[in-house]
Amino acid sequence: MAHLFNRNVLLGVSGGIAAYKSAELVRQLQELGATVRVVMTRGAQEFITPLTLQALSGNPVHTELLDAEAELGMSHIELARWADLLLIAPATADLLARLAAGRADDLLTTVALATAAPLVLAPAMNQQMWRDQATIANVAALASRGYTFVGPASGEQACGDIGPGRMEQPAIIAAAAAGVFENGLLEGKRVVITAGPTREALDPVRYISNHSSGKMGYALAQAAVDAGARTTLVSGPVNLSAPDHARVLHVESATQMLEQCLQLLPECDIFIACAAVADYRPAAIEQQKIKKGPEHINLQLVRNPDIVAAVAASEHRPFTVGFAAETNDLLAHARDKMKRKGLDMIVANDVSNRSIGFNSDNNEATVLWADGEQVLAMTGKSAMARQIIQIIARQLGSPAG
């Protein structure tokens, strides 16, 4: 059964009588593990109050695009980045038309344009409106953009008509929303991902490390699991719970990380090096705690092995992906790093921008490979992870990639 653990679902509610079922939908999404925020159109508020959906979702409901105070709390762009999935239920005929036209004339349509998250639509309208040529053309246009439709169901309608146009049951919509994250892009592949920082011991109580949160590596592991891959995380010390169905092997130092990765090589088709590996480690680990003494002491450091380069140079090398965090000449340095380390692909981050990278929930990157590149606009780390997995699948020639 598909689930929504660790997923941020933005539920868009537009103005139809089925809006009253959105309350139940919030519950169903939460039961599958999602964190839910709600955006309502003006019409939706005629059918159900924001207060109801606020109480159920446990989050303030967003209703206005041009409201300075609301924008201060969580702007429409932040909402768009926050969402791992935008689910619009009910989606009225008018909402479908506005989406199809690419309009951004209220908060919901603006967020729909501004998000990189997948979109799921649960239409609800009178059966004749659903059958109208205009709606048929809008649905076709939206489906061709890769949006997922759930329903509508057929049956007796609020207006007394009988036919297709009833919003699908909330439980079915929630299950379809969860299903969006499962794709077969890497079915049968074995993926190893390094994540988090390494710790390089100085003595029994001290170490050198860095601020890597591990969020990007863990998001990649989730995306790989969702793509059907047998996924192993080789993780430095982080404060994150591992995705369901991923194997996690905990390590501390770069040397341990290298050893673990080399051991996994015979069962690895794709290697993604996301860890912030310490470049140096203390030349010797003192057996006893180093005592406070002179005003100055010198630490001697030695270079750590380059894990991703070692993997890429191995005999039966997997498809190897690295990351490059740069502060200047991003693409040139990243491409150079890709060649130097013998990688198939590199994800380049501009770390001079403090709103992305290390501890942030957002990221912005360019993915480079031998004869191409793709820019990934700023978005949440899980949406970015899904896009990276899609690009890897495409490079590997997955039919669905």
Residues 230-259 that bind ligand C5P (CB under 6 A): 254
Point out which span in 4-12, 47-55, 227-235, 267-275 binds ligand C5P (CB under 6 A).
267-275
Question: Which part of the chain contacts ligand C5P (CB under 6 A), choosing from 6-14, 114-122, 144-152, 305-313?
Answer: 305-313
Which of these ranges, 110-118, 137-145, 241-249, 320-328, lies near ligand C5P under the rule CB under 6 A?
Answer: 320-328
Closest distance to ligand C5P from the beta carbon of 393 (Å):
19
Q: Which is nearer to ligand C5P, 2 or 262 (CB)?
A: 262
Measure the CA–CA gap between 360 and 337, rounded to whole angstroms: 24
Selection from 242, 124, 239 nearest residue 193 by Cα: 242
* Residue list 324-363, contact with ligand C5P (CB under 6 A): 324, 337
Task: For residues 362 and 355, give the distance between their C-alpha atoms in angstroms, rounded to a whole number.
Answer: 7
Nearest to 95 by CA among 111, 84, 116: 111
* Interactions with ligand C5P, residue window 363-392 (CB under 6 A): none
Closest CA to 210 of 264, 128, 277: 277
Please identify which residue in 192, 275, 348, 393 interacts with ligand C5P, judged by CB under 6 A: 275
Closest by Cα among 2, 47, 382, 386 to 174: 2
CB of 211 to ligand C5P, least distance (A): 14
Which segment (52-60, 138-146, 224-232, 299-307) binds ligand C5P by CB under 6 A?
A: 299-307
CA distance 301 to 306: 15
Q: How far apart are CA 362 and CA 215, in angstroms?
A: 10
Cβ closer to ligand C5P: 93 or 193?
Answer: 193
Asked whether position 260 contacts ligand C5P by CB under 6 A, the answer is no
- Determine the angle formed by the axes of helices 133-144 and 93-100, rounding to 10 degrees: 50
Instruction: Pull the structure tokens for residue 43.
Output: 């019409």
The answer to whether the CB of 15 falls within 8 A of the CB of 44 is yes
Q: Where are the alpha helices (DSSP H) in 231-289?
A: 254-264
Q: Does 323 bind ligand C5P (CB under 6 A)?
A: yes
Cβ proximity to ligand C5P, 111 vs 273, nearer residue: 273
Q: Which of 125, 308, 330, 388 binds ligand C5P (CB under 6 A)?
A: 308
- Sheet containing 35-40: which strands, arranged edge to edge? 35-40, 8-13, 85-91, 119-123, 148-149
**Cis peptide leading into 305, omega within 30 of 0?**
no
Nearer to ligand C5P, 34 or 324 (CB): 324
Minimum separation from the CB atom of position 371 to ligand C5P (A) = 20
Binding mask of the shown chain, residues 180 to 219, with x at each position contacting ligand C5P by CB under 6 A: --------------x-------------------------
Q: d(Cα 334, Cα 331) in Å, to the nearest integer?
A: 5
| Of 180-188, 318-326, 355-363, 379-387: span binding ligand C5P (CB under 6 A) | 318-326
**Is 277 a residue that touches ligand C5P (CB under 6 A)?**
yes
DSSP single-letter state for residue 106: S
Residue 261: active-site member: no
- CA dist., res. 139 & res. 122, Å (int): 11
Question: What are 369's two structure tokens?
Answer: 């490979």
Tokens of 280: 């140096």
Q: Does 304 bind ligand C5P (CB under 6 A)?
A: yes
Residue 273 in the binding site for ligand C5P (CB under 6 A): yes
Residues contacting ligand C5P: total by CB under 6 A: 14
Tokens describing residue 261: 């990765």
Backbone angles phi and psi of 145, in degrees to 5: -85, 0
Closest separation in Å from C-beta 22 to ligand C5P: 43
**307 is an interface residue for ligand C5P by CB under 6 A:** yes
Q: Which of 351, 341, 350, 306 is nearest to 321 (CA)?
A: 341
The 3-state DSSP class for residue 40 equals strand
Of the listed pieces 45-53, 81-89, 199-207, 272-280, which binds ligand C5P according to CB under 6 A? Answer: 272-280
Catalytic residue among 159, 261, 268, 274: 159
Residues 107-166 that bind ligand C5P (CB under 6 A): none
**Site residues (CB under 6 A) for ligand C5P?**
194, 254, 273-275, 277, 304, 306-308, 322-324, 337
Catalytic residue numbers?
Answer: 159
